[in-house]
A and B are shown apart, each in its own frame.
Chain A
Amino acid sequence: MAKRFDIKDLNIYYGKFHAVSSVNLAVPPRNVTAFIGPSGCGKSTVLRSLNRMHEVAPGARVEGKVLLDGEDIYASTVDPVEVRRTIGMVFQRPNPFPTMSIRDNVVAGLKLAGVKNKKKLDEVAERSLRGANLWNEVKDRLDRPGGGLSGGQQQRLCIARAIAVQPDVLLMDEPCSALDPISTLAIEDLITELKKDFTIVIVTHNMQQAARVSDQTAFFNLLGVGQPGQLIEVDDTEKIFSNPSQKATEDYISGRFG
């Protein structure tokens, strides 16, 4: 649980298109790392390469290493399905399984892993929903479909689903961009609580959000149209937002572009 990532010389391609160029980055455990940068700079692509989800797109491939506690998740012996079982992911739009009940949504990952004991599943469902600050709102309707909840509740349901399997790392791809400010606040509070137990990497377009929730911030940028995205700078969040070492970072966070 709560492992660290070491990304070494990571290059990502979609077919012939070079999407991201030589990223080197360390993600410490029990820590929130934020990826910021303009649209198309490759931050989501890097995030998706951390649990091998980018491979779902045809023609996608990577060069370089992504070490999870020293083990390369791209080693030829590693099954991407196993990687995704140990690294949770929360998406931009809440995506609970609409035909499944709230409870079944939460334990979907465990069921895929072969857990059948009903008592155990119920325990995990409750613990995960409590962990996602959703238990009190849904405890009376665990058998109702997950699609009936509000957007913010659905997103917390997806977080509960992701943490139910006790992942090594939790990846969040702009988890609040489809939510209203109140729900966003609820998720941000939740992230702060979750980092006690999990390593979290979050992509966000909202710089205030990065400043509020993260310990470490990585700024990605595009050098030009058609050029690969690059990691410009990574540092403590406080330093990035007060005294960045690169001019491009300063221009971006002060709103001069992007």
Chain B
Amino acid sequence: MTDNVTGSSPPARSTGRRRGDGIFRSMTTGSSLVIVVSIGLIGLFLLIQAVPSLQANTINFFTSAEWSTGDVGNLAFGIRDLLVVTVLSSLLALAIAMPIAMGIALFLTHYLPPKIAQPFAYVIDLLAAVPSIVFGLWGAKVLGPSLEPIATFLNENLSWIPLFSDGNVSLSGGGNIFTAGIVLAIMILPIITAVSREVFRQTPAMQIEGALALGATRWEMIRTTVLPFGRSGYIAGSMLGLGRALGETVAVLIILRSASSSSTFSFFDGGYTFASKIASAAPEFSEPLSTGAYIAAGLVLFVFTFAVNALARYIAGRGKAKAS
């Protein structure tokens, strides 16, 4: 009888444990589903709100630069300039931030002694905690005006390169993509640095020793081991930074001057990015059809950012598979 009781108790306990497993499993599955479902719903919301306006649009949504949504009976909006300004400012930010972030990450992981590197790394991370409105104010009031001579110099001497030719706003005050790109570069520096630092740090010690034992200098060691090992992580980190730059709103809104004519594909253009355009009109979102035009722009930004992030994940995942 006693035997019988003890014999039957383990299974009872194990079903109890299995129930616990089941609950835990549905909890974690549920939490992950929340993410997927909310992203899906956001996409769906954007699509549903955008479609009526897109149908009422009288000009080509992708190729025209005009934006007039005041008259609901005669909607005319196209995202060409928004796309140009968004892409130009983000790419400029990336071109500036990527080499600097790599330099900082290598310095922190392979040059500075760990004791000093840690506080230094905190300072970089602190940069990520500065509110973007502060970056915007600084860019518009301090950086922009002081960049004016440099911008003028570039414009005067390199105007044969289309990117440095005359823009559609005046150079004075620096309310152009050039300033915005530099501010964005500073804003995305922490994320790129943080990701790169992590992957550079993980370079296997035996690889590093192998290179040094062959008579590699520190830079040669970095070139033969750290950079190949960290390359995919560095690129993935840069893509995350690009995602941030594409979606940055308030700093760009404050910095960029509005332009009366359409984009000339120059760094000295003003205008709006997707995000700053939407934010600028937010107080007037009362008429569903005109609001839908902005939501359509938001949808394009959503898909664009999503694609950039997916690309980053793909590159990071591929690198991981290769390293193992």
Assembly CA distance A89 to B228 (angstroms): 22
Known contacts A58-B113, A98-B323; A109 and B206 CB within 8 A of each other = no
Is residue B225 contacting chain A, with contact meaning CB distance below 8 A? yes
Give every chain A residue within 8 A of B209 (Cβ-Cβ). Answer: 53, 56, 91, 95
B313 to chain A, nearest CB (A): 21
Residues of B within 8 A of A86 (CB): 215
A199 surroundings in chain B (CB, below 8 A) = none
Number of interface residues of A (CB under 8 A): 28
**Contact residues of B: prevailing secondary structure:** helix
Q: Does A34 contact B (CB under 8 A)?
A: no
Are B228 and A112 closer than 8 Å at their CB atoms? Answer: no
**Smallest beta-carbon distance B70→chain A, Å:** 57
Contact A97 B211 (CB under 8 A): yes
The number of residues on chain B lying at the interface, defined by a beta carbon within 8 Å of a beta carbon of chain A, is: 21
CB-CB < 8 A to B56: which residues of A?
none
B161 at the A interface (CB under 8 A): no
Bitwise interface map of B from 206 to 241 toward A, beta carbon under 8 Å scored 1, else 0: 111111111111001000110011000000000000
Inter-chain contact A82/B206, CB cutoff 8 Å = no
| A53 and B212 contact, CB distance less than 8 A | yes
Q: Which residue of A lies closest to B217 (CB)?
A: A81
> Is A18 interfacial (CB 8 A cutoff)?
no
CB distance A95 to B206 under 8 Å?
A: yes
Residues of A within 8 A of B207 (CB): 95, 97-98
In the complex, A91 Cα to B214 Cα: how many Å? 12
One of B113, B215, B225 near A81 (C-beta < 8 A): B215
The interface residues of chain A lying within 8 Å CB-to-CB of B228 are 97-100
B213 & A51 in contact (Cβ 8 Å cutoff): yes
Say yes or no for A125: interface residue by CB 8 A criterion. Answer: no
- The proximity string for A residues 163-180 relative to B, scoring 1 for CB distances below 8 Å and 0 otherwise, is 001000000000000000
B206 in contact with A97 (CB, 8 Å): no
Bound form: Cα–Cα A82–B217 in Å: 9
Contact partner of B214 (CB less than 8 A), chosen from A82, A93, A161, is A161
Question: Do the beta carbons of B215 and A112 come within 8 Å of each other?
Answer: yes
Known contacts A97-B228, A98-B323, A112 near B212 by CB under 8 Å: no
- For the complex of A and B, list the 5 residue pairs with the smallest distance between their C-beta atoms, beginning with the closest: A85-B215, A89-B213, A95-B210, A99-B228, A95-B206
Q: List 8 A-B contacts (CB under 8 A).
A: A81-B215, A91-B209, A91-B210, A93-B206, A95-B210, A96-B210, A97-B225, A100-B228
Residues of A within 8 A of B (CB): 51, 53, 56, 58, 81-86, 88-89, 91, 93, 95-100, 108-109, 112-113, 158, 161-162, 165
